[in-house]
Amino acid sequence: MAQRTHAVEHLETSTGLDNRKLAMWLFLASEALFFGSLIATYLLYRDQSQEGPFPEDVFNIPFTSVSSFILLMSSTTMALAVGAAHRGRLHQMRTWLLCTALLGISFLAGQAFEFTEFVHKGLTLSTNLFGSSFYLLTGFHGAHVSVGVLILLSLWVMAMRGRIGQHNALNVELAGLYWHFVDIVWILIFTLIYLLEPL
Amino acid sequence: MAQTTFDGSSLGVLEALRQLRQQAATYRGIWSWIATVDHKRIGIMYGVTAFLFFLAGGVEALAIRLQLARPGAQVLDQEVYNQMFTMHGTTMIFLVVMPLSAAFFNLIVPLQIGARDVAFPRLNAFSYWTFLMGGLFLYSSIFFGGAPNGGWFGYAPLTEKAFNPGHGIDFWALGLQILGISSLASGFNFIVTILNMRAPGMSLLRMPVFTWMTLVTSFLIIFAMPVLAVGLFQLSFDRLFGANFFNPLKGGTPLLWQHLFWLFGHPEVYILILPAMGIVSEVLPTFARKPLFGYPFVVFSGIAIAFMSFGVWVHHMYTTGLGPVANSAFGVSTILIAVPTGVKIFNWLGTLWGGDIRFKTPLLMALGFITMFVVGGLTGVTHSMVPSDYQQQDTYYVVAHFHQVLFGGAIFALFAGIYYWFPKFTGKLLDEKLGQLHFWLMLIGFNVTFQPMMILGLLGMPRRIQTYPTGMGWDLWNMIATVGAFLIALSVLVFIINVIVTARRGQRAGADPWDGRTLEWSIPSPPPPYNFARIPVVRARDDFWHHKYREDPSGRPVPVVAGGANGHEEEEGHSEHIHMPSPSFFPLIAALGFPIIAYGFVLADYALVAAGVVVLLFGIYGWALEPASE
């Protein structure tokens, strides 16, 4: 069955680019506008909050640096998983997929911890403009990471059942594209929202 | 294989689905429509659904016109009136013009590029079902305390909970969110289809202009929709979870909503009109029996419009006080965007010039488009002038302008497309006499309705008022506009009668009733499920025309004597070996998750949200694990 699906999916295309890969790139382009609008909203409302807590009251740069580092490392393991899938090293691929998912989960745990801390310090979605725009932006990013983790774990389960191999390594590659995109968005968020805050 | 990932209780469901799926693969019965992934059937479902919403939006328009026919009338009270104009605008834009365009994308694009289906047939079905769910969800608001009432652009903070309690706006925001998912999915699908699924030899600059405009529109959709999504999320978070994006008490600014909405909203205008321009660019060459004049100019001006459409949104916001620099800059960009539009108009006129013109209904509708759209475009140019716009802001002149481009433009062109391609998908020609009656009634009704609104606007009548006192000089023009609205309704009735009459005893259309130019006319009407028995090889723009005609020394077309002309290259034996994608229920199941989630949020019932997420995930995993064809 898998073989036949494979045959249908790899018909030659006019551009030579696989249909699903092209669709993924288009989806990510669209997502760029989505996060662009969220980031623009955050920047528009920067320093506009009328009451605290303000960013400098809640941000814990060392902590978020660590969780950012974890997410960045997950891009490395993701790239290793994609590489292993293409070379047919299935054992390695499974390991790196699981590593990536676990790193993603660690990042999400860090975010959950951070949100809890912020709420304890009095910052909720309805406290001020900072709270609204911060939680919406980072919350949607977290939701994207969660979807990515779900995809990675699904791939891992399928790989454990022998349904992912060199012939359909594209599945892993597509997950990789998505995962790297979500990471890149975090680099932007971390830089613009956390690191440049004192400026 | 798929069932191993589910527990025992869902096994029965999956087995039942599998049996229905096999039944659906026969192309017979209701299940074959519900599970279909065939682009032609999905296109027909899009078209029929959008037409039903067109009738709903039309009834709302008639109610509005009855209320405004005379001063001091009380046909609708203020609350219902607000709901009527909100639902009219939202319906006509998101549930009529966009899905009708999507119907044509589905029906025509794969045929014009010589493909057997779209790139992602199941995603295509998902787009349709999500659109249907979004529309039904939006309209279900009337059972939950009233329809949305904040206008089609839902300006915050008027739409905030504090000023607009009740569920209406929640239905509006979440309904548009669902419709956005549908549009995005079809946007990705059609870009990939057009770029990747072209028949050999169908280079980009040989593609029919309708296909080109579908490509450009799809790019606009995927870049404009996410901006709207963010605005809608912010609004929903304000209303449902107490965020402050548009809360003036906490420093939130209404300008944020306006920027996000119009940054989506102006490209949206071209999402509505570019497909219409594409249809007209197909109809004119066929009925003038000439190639499209200046094909590259038409294509590239479409692309130019798309780029510029992201740089003009502030012309909706001149009176918000952004200052002279911003207003001047956007005034200039707005004037500039009229240039590529004007280029297209001249190319269409050039196409007609010296043509061997046959005045059939599709051509009449296309001519209606050109003339009415020119008026609409010129009134748009008056809006681009900042001082002039200060006077026109929020008057009936604006209402007249955008109906002039959206009805006079898009709806005329969409009807041109319906009359033009109807025989291709039903095998029958719509009645020509009734068609002409439809056209003339609609043209007259349209002008009787909307030209008085121009005058009303210049006389200072504001839009969105439920009633007005007598003695303002508005009485006569309002009465005339109402009469015109009923003339339009009559013309639509004539169209419905035409469809019924045609279904009963319509004239049979062959493969190529109009002597067409593009590939869709080279296959039987209605096309077989696989479209092309053999994938065509394309050697020129208007390839099918060149199979039928060559040019004599003076440039006149002369029929090719032998072969090619009949358009029947079918050999029945071929269809046996063509492997088409299998029907699937999972797109529908996944789409069902969205309204459940949305009801959960509106009613603050998070168990319902969770249930919706489970349905959505069940649909997505079923979809992912089910082989695309078997």
Residue B577 predicted with pLDDT over 80 = no
Tell me the pLDDT band of B195, cut-offs 50, 70 and 90.
Answer: very high
CB contact under 8 A, A44 and B256: yes
pTM here? 0.94
**Chain A contact for B1, CB < 8 A?**
yes
Cα(B81)–Cα(B94) distance, integer angstroms:
20
Residue with tokens 């209605």: B526
Residue B487 predicted with pLDDT over 90 = yes
Q: Is B182 a catalytic residue?
A: yes
**Chain B contact for A160, CB < 8 A?**
no
Cα(A152)–Cα(A179) distance, integer angstroms:
9
CATH superfamily of A59-199: Cytochrome c oxidase, subunit III, four-helix bundle (1.20.120.80)
CB contact under 8 A, B241 and A125: yes
**Chain A contact for B250, CB < 8 A?**
yes
Taking residues B543-565, report their average pLDDT: 78
Tell me the pLDDT band of B13, cut-offs 50, 70 and 90.
Answer: confident
Domain ranges of chain B: 1-27+582-630, 36-581
Complex ipTM > 0.90: yes
Q: What is the pLDDT of residue B16?
A: 79
Residue A12 predicted with pLDDT over 90 = no
Taking residues A109-114, report their average pLDDT: 97
Taking residues A104-118, report their average pLDDT: 97
Identify which of A22, A34, A132 has the shortest CB distance to residue B245: A132
Tell me the pLDDT band of B38, cut-offs 50, 70 and 90.
Answer: very high
Taking residues B256-271, report their average pLDDT: 96
CA distances from A184 to A73, A136, A190, A192 (A): 12, 18, 10, 12
Taking residues B185-193, report their average pLDDT: 97
Taking residues B328-343, report their average pLDDT: 95
Taking residues B360-367, report their average pLDDT: 97
Which residues in chain B are closer than 8 Å to A25, comparing Cβ atoms? none
Taking residues B72-76, report their average pLDDT: 94
Compute and round to an integer the Cα radius of gyration of chain B: 25
Tell me the pLDDT band of A8, cut-offs 50, 70 and 90.
Answer: very low
* Catalytic-labelled residue, pool B266, B360, B383, B541: B266
**Chain B contact for A199, CB < 8 A?**
no
- DSSP for B432-475 reads HHHHHHHHHHHHHHHHHHHHHHHHHHHTTPBTT-S---TTSS-H
**Chain B contact for A143, CB < 8 A?**
no
Residue B251: exposure state from Cβ atoms within 10 A (0-12, 13-18, ≥19): middle
Q: pLDDT of B444-469, one tens digit each?
A: 999 999 999 999 999 999 999 999 99
* Catalytic-labelled residue, pool B161, B463, B546, B574: B463
**Chain A contact for B577, CB < 8 A?**
no
Tell me the pLDDT band of B552, cut-offs 50, 70 and 90.
Answer: confident
Q: What is the pLDDT of residue B30?
A: 86
Which residues in chain B are closer than 8 Å to A29, comparing Cβ atoms? 222-223
Peptide bond into B528 cis (omega under 30): no
Q: What is the pLDDT of residue B570?
A: 46
Q: pLDDT of B306-317, one tens digit each?
A: 999 999 999 999
Residue A7 predicted with pLDDT over 50 = no
Tell me the pLDDT band of B573, cut-offs 50, 70 and 90.
Answer: very low
Please state which of the ranges A53-67, B236-250, B338-352, B546-560 shows the lowest mean pLDDT: B546-560
Residue A116 predicted with pLDDT over 80 = yes
Q: pLDDT of A25-60, one tens digit each?
A: 999 999 999 999 999 999 999 999 999 899 999 999
Taking residues B388-410, report their average pLDDT: 95
* Catalytic-labelled residue, pool B81, B172, B257, B270: B270
Q: Is B128 a catalytic residue?
A: no
Is B601 strand, coil or helix? helix
Q: What is the pLDDT of residue B576?
A: 54
Cα(B415)–Cα(B435) distance, integer angstroms:
10
Domain ranges of chain A: 59-199
Taking residues B15-28, report their average pLDDT: 78
Taking residues B391-408, report their average pLDDT: 96
Cα(A191)–Cα(A196) distance, integer angstroms:
6
Q: What is the pLDDT of residue B430?
A: 96
Taking residues A67-92, report their average pLDDT: 96
Q: What is the pLDDT of residue B562?
A: 56
Taking residues B135-143, report their average pLDDT: 97
Residue B25 predicted with pLDDT over 90 = no
Tell me the pLDDT band of B555, cut-offs 50, 70 and 90.
Answer: confident
Tell me the pLDDT band of B22, cut-offs 50, 70 and 90.
Answer: confident
Q: What is the pLDDT of residue B575?
A: 52
* Catalytic-labelled residue, pool B31, B46, B129, B152: B152
Residue B511 predicted with pLDDT over 60 = yes
Q: What is the pLDDT of residue B27?
A: 77
CB contact under 8 A, A23 and B119: yes
Q: Which residues pair with B557 in a beta bridge?
A: B551
- Indicate which of A19, A47, A161 best probes the interface with B, i.e. most B CBs within 10 Å of its own CB: A19
Which residues in chain A are closer than 8 Å to B256, comparing Cβ atoms? 41, 44-45
Which residues in chain A are closer than 8 Å to B191, comparing Cβ atoms? 22, 26
Q: What is the pLDDT of residue B200?
A: 94
Q: What is the pLDDT of residue B557?
A: 82
What's the CATH fold of domain B36-581? Cytochrome C Oxidase; Chain A (1.20.210)
**Chain A contact for B535, CB < 8 A?**
no
State both tokens at B20: 């229905």
Taking residues A114-141, report their average pLDDT: 96
Which residues in chain A are closer than 8 Å to B184, comparing Cβ atoms? 30
Tell me the pLDDT band of A9, cut-offs 50, 70 and 90.
Answer: very low
Q: What is the pLDDT of residue B232?
A: 98
CA distances from A117 to A60, A112, A197, B325 (A): 10, 9, 19, 44
Pairing, β B557-559 against β B507-508: unpaired
Residue A6 predicted with pLDDT over 50 = no
CA distance B209 to chain A (A): 18
* Mean pLDDT of the residues in chain B: 93
Question: A136 and B234 in contact (C-beta within 8 Å)?
Answer: yes
Q: What is the pLDDT of residue B626?
A: 86
- Phi and psi at residue B153, in whole multiples of 5°? -100, 10
Q: What is the pLDDT of residue A197?
A: 84
DSSP state of B395: B
Q: Is B341 a catalytic residue?
A: yes
Q: Is B315 a catalytic residue?
A: yes
